[in-house]
Chain A
Amino acid sequence: MKMNSELLNKNTAINNNVKLSTKGVDLYYGSFQALRNITLDIPECAITAIIGPSGCGKSSFLRIFNRMNDLITGAKVEGLVELTGINIYDRSIDVVELRKRVGMVFQKPNPFPMSVFENVAFGPRRHGTNNLGELEDTIERSLHQAALWNEVKDKLGQSALSLSGGQQQRLCIARVLAVEPEVILMDEPCSALDPVATLKIEDLMRSLAENYTIVIVTHNMQQAARVSDMAAFLMMEEDRAGALVEYGPTSQIFTNPKDKRTEDYITGRFG
């Protein structure tokens, strides 16, 4: 099987360093428990996919890593969440600095209503880079990394909203790359895109995985199988709290799942 050999090839490259880890993490929105007791280690410079049925808390889980849940009143995280061994929920942690290290790409492309150039420059400018030459270098590098440079190099001054959906999403990735993060969180980054644009983003993810730790939430089983090195399967328990059912190398999750529920889900029997 072609897919299997691909998966095996990918897995030989998995790095053993743990970049992100959660230990017994619970997430509450007020009195509602959204996630229960999630423990997993996410390897460095690899792509980890979070899969599971709608409403199981995948996105909520992803947002734990850059503390985006902080914005929701009543959201509370219990347990340990570590970035390279440091507890990111410690009181001494500067959330702004954390979000610089752990960037995020959203479901719907959200370019700012300004030029392509200013979109990518937004992060660096906020972090104090105002030297134009320096910014130009950063923007060219980021757009190259996001595989967008050739398409936009002649229209850096144009509005970002004039780009196609796929280009907008790659622009958002470039915007994140411009602040030189270590981790990129992607929340269903292709769900608003057509298949061609989706494949471009997937190729891009594979090339980014050489230098960045990527965590992606996806609804699309084929996508998880195609791009990820590791896969975590989340499911709702009876009280609607999401829990981790199975976590392991993607090849194993997709070809030889240990849990019956994982098998049922990936073979399309529910979800």
Chain B
Amino acid sequence: MRAGAVSKRQLSQRSAFSLLIVATIIVALPVLAIVIQIIVNGADAISLEFLTESPSQAGKAGGILPAIVGTFYLMLGTILIALPLGVMAGIYLTEYARDNRFTRAINLAIVNLAGVPSIVYGLFGLGIFVLLFHFGMSLLSASLTLACQALAMTVTTSREAILAVPREYREGSLAVGATRWQTIRHLVLPQASPGIITGAVLAMSRAAGETAPILVVGAAFLLPGLPQSPFDQFMALPYHLYTVAAHVPGMPKSTMWGVALVLLVVVLSFNVLATIIRLRARQWRYSL
């Protein structure tokens, strides 16, 4: 045995490991830095007043309640449209669709849906929902626009969750004379629902963070109160952040960071929620 050769191999192994660890740390650093920076700078701005009042003086004073509420309305509207449609399309594509040119075209469209730049969705929404359907610059138009974007995710996650349900279950169900729809309704969907819900929650958190598409379909810079109907304009956290940071001179720094912090908390808490659902579902399955 030649000790020299071994130590050389060990050396190269060690340096490879070190390199990989450094790369991993570098990957994690920006996330950590962003979170710390936002918390440190924004924490001072957070107060009861900031969270519960409407803005005044072009956002320099007062709170951001309309933007928080607007963002939640947007998330809700988006998911109410994108989830049922996504799940139904997911069911059709996995359980009923035959492999032909039509389904292949649809699958291709869904894959590409995710790759369309978000501002393009905004212009699409402006053309279709705002102008053609006369929904105006409104919460409804914005929800529909964001829902189009979220569909890529809800269809894909639904389809994957449904495909992950073992074939043995379906066969067992059909073998006792259940119809295909009963099999889906009573066996496949309950099994797939944790995956579907996880995808939906992630789609919501993404919708919460979108700025570009809502810019052109109904987000307002400043509104005195909360939207009263789906046809009202609305404020939203990311757009508010963009305007106070870029368009209001003399804006206190802490207010900007405060808006960013609230947005981050909303988005991250939804991501954490998705993780919890996924872990719980796995645990629940194993503990059975």
Contact = CB atoms under 8 A, between A and B. Distances in A.
A172 interface: yes
Interface string B167-198: 01101111111110010001100010000000
B101 to A, nearest CB: 15
A99 B288 contact: no
Contacts of B176: 99-100, 103, 122-123, 126, 175-176, 178-179
A107 B98 CA distance: 27
Nearest to B170: A71
B286 to A, nearest CB: 9
Nearest to B187: A112
Interface in B232-263: none
Interface string A153-168: 0000001011000000
B135 to A, nearest CB: 42
Interface residues of B, number: 20
B177 A100 contact: yes
A108 B175 contact: no
B225 to A, nearest CB: 49
Given A73-B98, A159-B288, A106 B186 contact: no
A104 interface: yes
A126 to B, nearest CB: 4
Contact of B186 (A104, A122, A162): A122
Contact of A126 (B168, B177, B285): B177
Interface residues on A, range: 20 to 34
The winner among A66, A100, A111, A126 for most chain B CB atoms within 10 A is: A126
A186 to B, nearest CB: 11
Contacts of B187: 112, 122
Given A113-B285, A159-B288, A162-B288, A106 B177 contact: no
A104 B175 contact: yes
B276 to A, nearest CB: 20
Given A113-B288, A126-B186, A175 B172 contact: yes
Given A96-B177, A99-B177, 17 more contacts: A71-B174, A73-B99, A96-B178, A103-B175, A103-B177, A104-B171, A104-B175, A110-B169, A112-B187, A122-B178, A123-B178, A126-B176, A126-B178, A159-B288, A161-B288, A175-B172, A175-B176
Interface of B: 98-99, 166, 168-169, 171-179, 182, 186-187, 191, 285, 288
User: 9 nearest interchain CB pairs?
Assistant: A100-B177, A123-B176, A110-B168, A104-B175, A159-B288, A126-B178, A99-B177, A110-B172, A161-B288
